[in-house]
């Protein structure tokens, strides 16, 4: 694999309880061009170090001696100094109910163990993209847009709102599930709907079906942001009339492009 250089100044903080796994990961990072990498075996010590000297990104295992990777990223998101620090989870865990909270947090990537240099490189490029300045968007395209964000995760809604504000979209309405979104759609005209799939009371598929068949806003573009990987369920959502589907965790530029493409159509 031809490895493109990463920025020389990239600062990575690794949280890994296994000394052997940490040594392998640090060696791989060095081969990929990362010159500054700090390693800690416990989450609380790593958090204290991040607060003292915030890194460009944190890479963590899921199961740590003092907390889980899920709890670690939640603590980061609750700290204003670390709220937007890119987070990469490395784990052999495959259960959606375990991984979904990490994806909902706006994590850059979830890498499965054992991982390759190519997988780590893609994750690091996602970090670089997250750290880069947002590309300008034509103000006339977005300044008057009203966007409805539907997601049962407050962390995910907060992250999506931040992404939209980076684009210049400031009129954002939030709902925790499809049932809350229905009366909003009945009373307020929106230009775009961003919705999760798995939600209580009324999930993303049911919301898409409602909008397309019962709402007076049946033609509104709908973008689904989801960690759902059941192809049968996603095919049903596509059949119901979703405009586009984007996997969680997602890259900022992908969302921007999907939104602008749907609006232009």
The pLDDT assigned to 229 comes to 67
**Best mean pLDDT range from 32-36, 41-45, 110-114, 164-168:** 41-45
Q: Supply the Cα-derived Rg of the chain in whole angstroms.
A: 19
User: Which range has the worst mean pLDDT, 75-84, 159-168, 192-201?
Assistant: 159-168
pLDDT of residue 255: 73
pLDDT tens sequence across 53-91 = 999 999 999 999 999 998 998 899 888 889 888 899 998
- Per-residue pLDDT at 2: 42
Asked if residue 197 has pLDDT above 80, the reply is: yes
pLDDT in tens, 204-234: 889 999 999 999 998 899 888 877 666 777 7
Asked if residue 134 has pLDDT above 50, the reply is: no
User: How crowded is residue 172: how many other Cβ atoms within 10 Å of its Cβ?
Assistant: 19
pLDDT band for position 249 (50/70/90)? Answer: low
Task: Say what the pLDDT of residue 1 is.
Answer: 41
Going by pLDDT thresholds of 50, 70 and 90, the confidence category of residue 181 is: very high
Residue with the bigger pLDDT between 130 and 57: it is 57
How confident is residue 41, by pLDDT bands cut at 50, 70 and 90? very high
CB 56 within 8 A of CB 10: yes
The region of weakest confidence among 69-83, 110-124, 164-178, 251-265 is 251-265
- Per-residue pLDDT, averaged over 164-179, amounts to 89
**Mean model confidence pLDDT for the chain:** 84
45: pLDDT confidence band, cut at 50, 70 and 90?
very high
Q: What percent of the chain has pLDDT over 90?
A: 36
Q: Binning pLDDT at 50, 70 and 90, where does residue 162 land? A: confident
Q: Which domains does the chain have, with CATH numbers?
A: 11-131 (3.40.50.2300), 139-264 (3.40.50.2300)
């Amino acid at each position: 694999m031809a490895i493109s250089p990463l920025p020389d100044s990239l600062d990575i903080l690794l949280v890994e309880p296994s000394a052997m796994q940490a040594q392998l990961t640090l060696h791989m990072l060095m081969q990929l061009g990362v010159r500054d990498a700090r390693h800690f075996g416990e989450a609380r010590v790593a958090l204290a170090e991040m607060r003292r000297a915030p890194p460009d990104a944190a890479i963590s295992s899921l199961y740590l001696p003092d907390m889980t990777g899920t709890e670690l990223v939640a603590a980061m998101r609750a700290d204003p100094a670390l709220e937007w620090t890119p987070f990469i989870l490395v784990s052999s865990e495959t259960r959606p109910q375990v991984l979904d909270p990490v994806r909902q947090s706006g994590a850059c990537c979830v890498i499965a163990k054992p991982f390759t240099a190519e997988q780590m490189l893609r994750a690091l490029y996602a970090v670089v993209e997250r750290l880069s300045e947002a590309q300008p968007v034509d103000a006339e395209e977005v300044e008057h847009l009203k966007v409805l964000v539907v997601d049962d995760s407050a962390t995910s809604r907060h992250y999506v709102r931040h992404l939209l504000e980076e684009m210049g979209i400031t009129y954002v309405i939030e709902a925790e599930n499809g049932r809350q979104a229905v009366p909003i759609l009945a009373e307020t005209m929106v230009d775009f709907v961003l919705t999760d799939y798995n939600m209580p009371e009324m999930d993303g598929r049911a919301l898409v079906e409602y909008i397309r068949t019962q709402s007076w806003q049946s033609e509104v573009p709908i973008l689904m942001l989801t960690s759902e990987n059941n192809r049968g369920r996603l095919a049903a959502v596509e059949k119901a009339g979703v405009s586009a589907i984007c996997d969680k965790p997602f890259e900022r530029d992908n969302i921007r492009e999907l939104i602008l493409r749907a609006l232009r159509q």
